[in-house]
Chains A and B, each alone.
Chain A
Amino acid sequence: MSAIIEIKDLTKEFKVLERREGLKGSLQDLFSRNYKTVRAVDNVSMTIEQGEIVGYLGPNGAGKSTTIKMMTGVLEPTSGTILTNGIVPYKNRSKNAQEIGVVFGQRTQLWWALPLVESFKILKDIYQINDKDYNDMLDLYRSLVDIDPLLHKTVRQMSLGQRTLSDILAAFLHNPKIVFLDEPTIGLDVAMKANIRKLIHALNKEKNTTVILTTHDMGDVDALCQRTVIIDKGKMLYDNDIEQLKKFFGSYRILKVRPTGELETQAESIKNELEGFSVRIMDDWISILVDEEKAGVMDVLGRLQRSYKIKDMQLEEISTEEVIKKIYEGGVN
């Protein structure tokens, strides 16, 4: 294994116009402008090895897309260095582009009016893929997903799921060293999500392609990533094995209950009853964070049922946001 991406002290600052309020403010803005510097990415360092699948997580606006734009060469870092495949992406955009594949959420990069196979043929020319590699790749695709019905359909006519699938296939077509997937499963149904995860996993295994995956869906991370990097407000919070993270959070679940009576007083009394648990009111539910290593969810529920009349209950896995909050509170490293 060798490092394919090396990021060191990476920082990106944007100048943002501070708009004043109201009509008077807008007029003032015309003549004198106040700029504020925002650090979208703040001193991030990491090394990614060839063949890794890295889950790059963080809430909206955390700086994920900005980091990816710098890795793909679209943005120039304010300071710090990036090397992908040993080259500086911003300075060698075209050379870098030859070795990467990118899928950006719901924005297709394929030709809207063309059947998929024609898009593939154009990409074959753009990336100068020879006939053998091209056909081998199509055979591999055939063995992984049912692409033949897709090939002759225009991108315009595809469902969101089919389009995402096609975009991912197109991103891997020239056998790039790194593929960036920005929220590939957003808006898809469960079956399609599973399909796409399977495909990404298989392509990574088969071609040893490095995959950088940004997502909000812990399910994607669970299914694909050996390693996760978590970023919030531009700062790196966590970079480690997924197992490490799971060991810590795998035991946490959120129990939500809705007892009879007034929500607030009930929550207060539950808080007193369950000492050492984090109890909060969230959207008409009383949510209790349960550490299963200390107490089983069923035990907690049983205890509650003795003293309260529970109308309804829900059990939830911990979410990315919840994980980040926990990291802030201190714990994992």
Chain B
Amino acid sequence: MKKKDLRFYLRIYFKILAQDLKSKMSYRADFIISTIGMIFTNIAGFVSFWIIFRNFPSINGWSYYEMLFLYGFSLIALTPVQCLFDNNWNLRIAVYSGDFIKYCFRPVNLFFYYQSEVFDIKGLGQLAFGIGTLAYSWHHLGLGFDILMLLKLIVFLISASVVMVALQNAAAATCFWIQNSFYVLDLVTRFKDYAKYPITIFSPVFRFIFTFIMPIAFIAYYPSLVILRPDNIEILSLFSPVIAVVFFWISYKIWMHGALRYNGTGS
């Protein structure tokens, strides 16, 4: 038996992904309707954002375009969690019904095997929206563009995504211990909506919570500071890649710990 390296996992991942896409495309009506739904969700989000800013030219020193930047940044950062880790939403049901046990019999990493099963293509629409919004605000802010900026953008976008993935993993994993974990997952998802606002508009208590307890400030605010306000970067911004990795590692450990102590229902 060969060693299971990254290539092994990537190969399986893309094979499952390709098959999943194929089967999703075959339900054409379903595919079209969900894509349209996603577009409208994004338009609605954008319109409400726009309406607020017709009335308030700036929020706590943050201009319209800067806010738009945060908005676009968070949309892009939330794409991976939507596309690649959507199966977290089904975890509770799989655990409760006992179906989760089927993932325990394969000679591959349990977390990987579980998450690989679902790829949510709707997230790609969100990605397109996010890129559009980001490019538009980028242009209006006159930020300029070079390779270093792009590199920074990519690194900090990835860290932001990883934070969100970590949050969702940890929230989903609560189902291994408690029955009604839906509310935990739902709570985290609702809180992520606050991610697109600059953390400085919140009271100190919430600032602390959003930074250290439920670190949604790392989804858009801290990472995008690096690009938006390069002269005045908070130390936490620079550390956000490290923090992202640490959060992810912790959430992975929690998830796996729950999964390994899982022993199914009777049959």
On A, residues with C-beta under 8 Å from B are 61, 65, 69, 72-75, 93-95, 97-98, 100, 102, 104-105, 107-109, 111, 113-114, 118, 121-122, 125-128, 154, 182-183
Q: Is the CB of A75 within 8 A of B106?
A: no
In the assembled complex, which residues on chain B have CB atoms less than 8 Å from the CB atom of A61? 266
Partner of A95, one of B102, B105, B107: B107
Interface bin, chain B: 20 to 34
Produce 1/0 per residue, B7-39, CB < 8 A to A. Answer: 010011001100110011000000000000000
Complex Cα–Cα for A107 and B104 (A): 13
Q: Is the CB of B105 within 8 A of A98?
A: no
In the assembled complex, which residues on chain B have CB atoms less than 8 Å from the CB atom of A182? 267
Q: Is the CB of A126 within 8 A of B23?
A: no
List 13 contacting pairs A-B, 8 Å CB cutoff, sorted by A.
A65-B267, A72-B105, A74-B104, A74-B105, A74-B263, A93-B104, A94-B108, A94-B109, A97-B105, A98-B107, A114-B19, A122-B15, A126-B108
Q: Is the CB of A105 within 8 A of B19?
A: no
Write the chain B residue with the least CB distance to A214. B267
Given A111-B19, A121-B15, A122-B15: A69 and B264 interface contact (C-beta under 8 Å): yes
Q: Is the CB of A104 within 8 A of B23?
A: no
Q: Is the CB of A97 within 8 A of B16?
A: no
In the assembled complex, which residues on chain B have CB atoms less than 8 Å from the CB atom of A94? 107-109
Measured CB to CB, the closest approach of chain B to A99, in angstroms, equals: 9
B147 close to A (CB within 8 Å): no
Q: Is the CB of A128 within 8 A of B2?
A: yes
How many A-B pairs have beta carbons closer than 8 Å: the answer is 70
Q: Is the CB of A107 within 8 A of B98?
A: yes
In the assembled complex, which residues on chain B have CB atoms less than 8 Å from the CB atom of A104? 101-102, 267
Q: Is the CB of B117 within 8 A of A111?
A: yes
Measured CB to CB, the closest approach of chain B to A152, in angstroms, equals: 13
In the assembled complex, which residues on chain B have CB atoms less than 8 Å from the CB atom of A154? 23
Q: Is the CB of A126 within 8 A of B12?
A: yes
Complex Cα–Cα for A297 and B101 (A): 47
B148 close to A (CB within 8 Å): no
Complex Cα–Cα for A93 and B19 (A): 27
On B, residues with C-beta under 8 Å from A are 1-2, 8, 11-12, 15-16, 19-20, 23-24, 98-99, 101-102, 104-109, 117, 262-264, 266-267
Given A97-B106, A102-B105, A113-B20: A125 and B266 interface contact (C-beta under 8 Å): no
Measured CB to CB, the closest approach of chain B to A70, in angstroms, equals: 10
Q: Which of B23, B99, B266, B267 has the most CB of A within 10 A?
A: B267
In the assembled complex, which residues on chain A have CB atoms less than 8 Å from the CB atom of B109? 94
Complex Cα–Cα for A97 and B106 (A): 5
Complex Cα–Cα for A300 and B51 (A): 92
In the assembled complex, which residues on chain B have CB atoms less than 8 Å from the CB atom of A73? 104
In the assembled complex, which residues on chain B have CB atoms less than 8 Å from the CB atom of A113? 20, 23-24
Complex Cα–Cα for A154 and B20 (A): 12
Complex Cα–Cα for A229 and B20 (A): 42
Q: Is the CB of A125 within 8 A of B12?
A: yes
Q: Is the CB of A122 within 8 A of B19?
A: yes
In the assembled complex, which residues on chain B have CB atoms less than 8 Å from the CB atom of A118? 19
In the assembled complex, which residues on chain A have CB atoms less than 8 Å from the CB atom of B102? 104, 107-109
Measured CB to CB, the closest approach of chain B to A170, in angstroms, equals: 11
Write the chain A residue with the least CB distance to B3. A128
Complex Cα–Cα for A219 and B102 (A): 27
Measured CB to CB, the closest approach of chain A to B40, in angstroms, equals: 26
In the assembled complex, which residues on chain B have CB atoms less than 8 Å from the CB atom of A183? 267
Q: Which of B2, B12, B107, B263 has the most CB of A within 10 A?
A: B107
Q: Is the CB of A74 within 8 A of B106?
A: no
Measured CB to CB, the closest approach of chain A to B261, in angstroms, equals: 9
Measured CB to CB, the closest approach of chain B to A59, in angstroms, equals: 13
Write the chain B residue with the least CB distance to A101. B105
In the assembled complex, which residues on chain B have CB atoms less than 8 Å from the CB atom of A75? 263
Q: Is the CB of B107 within 8 A of A127?
A: yes
Partner of A126, one of B20, B99, B106, B266: B106
Across chains A and B, which 3 residue pairs bring their CB atoms closest together, nearest first? A113-B23, A97-B107, A98-B107
Measured CB to CB, the closest approach of chain B to A232, in angstroms, equals: 15
In the assembled complex, which residues on chain B have CB atoms less than 8 Å from the CB atom of A102? 105
Partner of B1, one of A98, A122, A125: A98
Q: Which of A104, A114, A126, A183 has the most CB of B within 10 A?
A: A126
In the assembled complex, which residues on chain A have CB atoms less than 8 Å from the CB atom of B98? 107
In the assembled complex, which residues on chain B have CB atoms less than 8 Å from the CB atom of A109? 102, 105
Write the chain A residue with the least CB distance to B116. A122
Write the chain B residue with the least CB distance to A90. B260
Complex Cα–Cα for A127 and B4 (A): 10
Partner of A74, one of B11, B107, B264, B267: B264
In the assembled complex, which residues on chain A have CB atoms less than 8 Å from the CB atom of B108? 94, 126
In the assembled complex, which residues on chain A have CB atoms less than 8 Å from the CB atom of B16? 111, 122
